[in-house]
């Protein structure tokens, strides 16, 4: 469940936004602010997950509010709702998820909030799975949960991704970037096509312009780029 702060100096618009949010099952706390300073106070006291900010406010503008919020919590999600399209370029400094121009498209507003709240739920679940040592993998008929300790390395082969484990192989169509976000600090991207569990590495051997990784109790190999090898060498040796 997500907490959200709506900062809007027009009272009728603020009420409308909050009514739209009250029926959203993914939102469990709604904070309201009519000024930038009030929004900053709430951000410092409550640390909301999502910010819906007007830009043209009577004291400090919404972009400044977002900057303060991002400094306090880099993971906070921001969306601007404003009548001034000219501020769009300035707002990019805080990497907003959306920039909605008034009068708002209600469907777009709700879609933005839903996507931000859903992303938060997914991130929370991913973190919990990491703590329990589990790795979710989409399959044709559902989701398989692998033990991270059993994963030796992950390989991208054409359109197919192969997860090599102690007990065998599992194939999926996921990209490595998405899989990498579900892994813990024991995994390292050694090549554009390989992610390895560093605790499983037995040896890294130089072959020409690249490197080959071999693993304990496994006859499979992974490739490692020269730049990644140099980086790892500086960190470990």
What's this model's pTM, rounded to 2 decimal places?
A: 0.71
Residues sharing a CB contact under 8 Å with residue 1, sequence separation 6 or more, in sequence order = 26, 27, 28, 29, 121
Q: How confident is the model over 144-194, as pLDDT tens digits?
A: 889 999 999 999 998 899 999 999 999 988 889 888 888 888 999 999 999
pLDDT greater at residue 154 or residue 232? 154
Domains and CATH numbers, the chain: 2-129 (3.40.50.2300), 133-236 (2.40.50.1020)
Helix (H) or strand (E) run with residue 195 in it: strand 194-197
Separation between Cα atoms, residue 235 and residue 191, nearest integer Å: 17
Confidence tier at 235 by pLDDT (50, 70, 90)? low
Nearest to 109, CA basis, from 60, 70, 53, 38:
53
Half-sphere exposure of 45 toward its Cβ, with a 13 Å CA cutoff? 8
């Amino acid at each position: 469940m997500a907490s959200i702060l709506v900062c809007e100096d027009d009272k009728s618009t603020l009420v409308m936004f909050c009514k739209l949010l009250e029926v959203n099952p993914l939102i469990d706390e709604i904070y309201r602010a009519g000024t930038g300073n009030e929004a900053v106070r709430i951000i410092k006291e409550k640390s909301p997950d999502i910010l819906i900010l007007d830009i043209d406010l009577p004291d400090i503008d919404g972009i400044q509010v977002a900057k303060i919020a991002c400094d306090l919590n880099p993971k906070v999600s921001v969306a601007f709702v404003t009548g001034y399209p000219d501020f769009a370029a300035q707002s990019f400094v805080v990497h907003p998820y959306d920039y909605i121009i008034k009068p708002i498209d209600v469907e777009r507003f709700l879609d933005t909030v839903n996507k931000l709240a859903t992303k938060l739920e997914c991130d929370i679940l991913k973190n919990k799975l990491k703590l329990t040592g589990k790795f979710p993998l989409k399959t044709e008929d559902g989701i398989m949960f692998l033990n991270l300790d059993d994963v030796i390395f992950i390989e991208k082969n054409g359109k197919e991704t192969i997860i090599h484990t102690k007990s065998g192989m599992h194939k999926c169509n996921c990209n490595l970037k998405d899989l990498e976000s579900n892994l813990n600090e024991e995994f390292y991207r050694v090549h554009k096509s390989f992610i390895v569990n560093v605790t499983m590495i037995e040896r890294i051997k130089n072959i020409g312009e690249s490197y080959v990784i071999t693993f304990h109790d496994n006859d499979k190999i992974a490739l490692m780029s020269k730049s990644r090898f140099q980086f790892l060498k500086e960190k470990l040796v």
